[in-house]
């Protein structure tokens, strides 16, 4: 797959706050029907605990359908002890959908315990709600949240990067595990320079562009990481080397600027 400048930096208002580009109107009817079908099949005991369901990612941003890799849903629930967790019933429901039609997009559905003081208890999730999510079921809690500027509140990938690297380098790792690690490397690279750029984007081409501006010595490594992410098949040795060596370098650099 060719590297293309898909997406871009999010627009900001005159005061520098990010304008949320997500809209349910941007989602194609086919995907809307698929999402509703998924929501209808949520076990009733689980659904009773859910306050709101949100959609984020490429779909509600009106990116071309061929560049949409999955459907990213998450819920605010009354169930205790949830913090961006995917439950077993989600995996079973996804397997059921894939069995019906193996070409269907994978649905990612995670849950977090609802907290009226979410901005204080889980500010990173609050920032995601405010800047890049659209409420599709239940009350829109994001309306109550403060605006967000590019910065550490939007740094998420660095938190799970080490875990993604470990999973990708395991003996039983699948291509999807390696792709997830490469994507996290790229997005963590952007998180390292986000405040210096005063921009925000989840889009990989633009993450690479920003990172390379500040780290020209690593530019070839980051460009190769994007190339391998887009074209992982047949690149086993290069994949593992990039994940092991460059991934570790990005982890070290993130310690200086984010944590």
CATH number of the domain where residue 76 is located: 3.30.460
**Residue 60 covered by a domain:** yes
State yes or no: pLDDT of 94 exceeds 90: no
Q: Is 214 a member of any domain? A: yes
Instruction: Answer yes or no: is 35 within a domain.
Output: yes
Last residue of a domain, one of 100, 121, 149: 149
Q: What is the pTM of this model?
A: 0.89
Per-residue H/E/C for the chain: CCCCCCCCCCCECCCCCECCCCCHHHCCHHHHHHHHHHHHCCCHHHHCCEEEEEEECCHHHCCCHHHCCEEEEEEEECCCCCEEECCHHHHHHHHHHHHHCCCCCEEEEEEEECCCCHHHHCHHHHHHHHHHEEEEECCCHHHHCCCCCCCHHHCCHHHHHHHHHHHHCCCCCCHHHHHHHHHHHHHHHHHHHHHHHCCCCCCHHHHHHHHHHHCHHHHHHHHHHHHHHHCCCCCHHHHHHHHHHHHHHHHHHHHHHCC
Position 205 scores a pLDDT of 96
Domain final residue, candidates 131, 149, 167: 149
Residues 51 and 133 in one domain: yes
Specify if 7 maps to a domain.
Answer: no
Give yes or no: residues 142 and 230 share one domain.
no
99 & 211 share domain: no
Do 122 and 33 share a domain, yes or no?
yes
Last residue of a domain, one of 149, 172, 199: 149
Whether residues 97 and 160 fall in one domain:
no
pLDDT greater at residue 205 or residue 105: 205
Owning domain of residue 138: 24-149
Report the range out of 62-76, 162-176, 228-242 with the highest average pLDDT: 162-176
Specify if 231 maps to a domain: yes
Residue 4 counted as domain residue: no
How many domains does the chain contain in total? 2
pLDDT at 67 exceeding the cut of 60: no
Q: What is the pLDDT of residues 123-155, one digit of tens each?
A: 999 999 999 999 999 999 999 999 999 999 999
- Residues 83 and 170 reside in one and the same domain: no
pLDDT of 91 strictly over 90: no
In a domain, 1, yes or no: no
Band of residue 163 on the pLDDT scale cut at 50, 70, 90: very high
- Residue 64, pLDDT > 90, answer no
Same domain, 111 and 77: yes
User: Per the domain annotation, does 19 fall within a domain?
Assistant: no
Q: Is 123 found in the same domain as 105?
A: yes
The 10s digit of each residue's pLDDT in 14-55 is 999 999 999 999 998 888 988 999 999 999 999 999 999 999
Query: What is the pLDDT confidence band of residue 237, given thresholds at 50, 70 and 90?
Result: low
Are residues 139 and 167 located together in one domain of the fold?
no
pLDDT, the chain, mean: 90
């Amino acid at each position: 797959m060719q590297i293309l400048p898909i997406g871009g930096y999010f627009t900001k208002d005159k005061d520098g706050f990010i304008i949320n580009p997500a809209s349910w109107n941007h989602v194609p009817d086919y995907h809307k029907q698929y999402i509703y079908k998924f929501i209808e099949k949520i076990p009733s005991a689980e659904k009773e605990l859910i306050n709101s369901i949100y959609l984020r990612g490429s779909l509600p941003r009106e990116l071309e359908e061929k560049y949409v890799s999955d459907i990213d849903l998450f819920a605010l629930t009354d169930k205790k002890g949830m913090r961006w967790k995917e439950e077993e019933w989600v995996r079973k429901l996804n397997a059921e959908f894939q069995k019906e039609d193996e070409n269907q997009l994978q649905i990612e559905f995670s849950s977090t315990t609802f907290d009226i003081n979410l901005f204080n208890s889980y500010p990173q999730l609050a920032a995601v709600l405010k800047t890049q999510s659209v409420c599709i079921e239940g009350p829109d809690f994001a309306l109550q949240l403060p605006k967000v500027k590019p910065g550490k509140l939007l740094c998420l990938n660095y938190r799970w990067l080490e875990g993604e690297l470990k999973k990708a380098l395991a003996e039983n790792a699948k291509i999807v595990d390696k792709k997830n690690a490469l994507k996290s490397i790229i997005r963590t690279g952007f998180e390292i320079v986000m405040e210096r750029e005063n921009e925000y984007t989840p889009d990989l081409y633009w993450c690479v562009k920003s990172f390379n501006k500040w780290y020209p010595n690593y530019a070839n490594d980051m460009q190769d990481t994007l190339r391998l992410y887009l074209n992982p098949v047949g690149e086993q040795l290069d994949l593992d080397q990039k994940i092991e060596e460059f991934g570790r370098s990005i982890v070290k650099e993130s310690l200086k600027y984010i944590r």
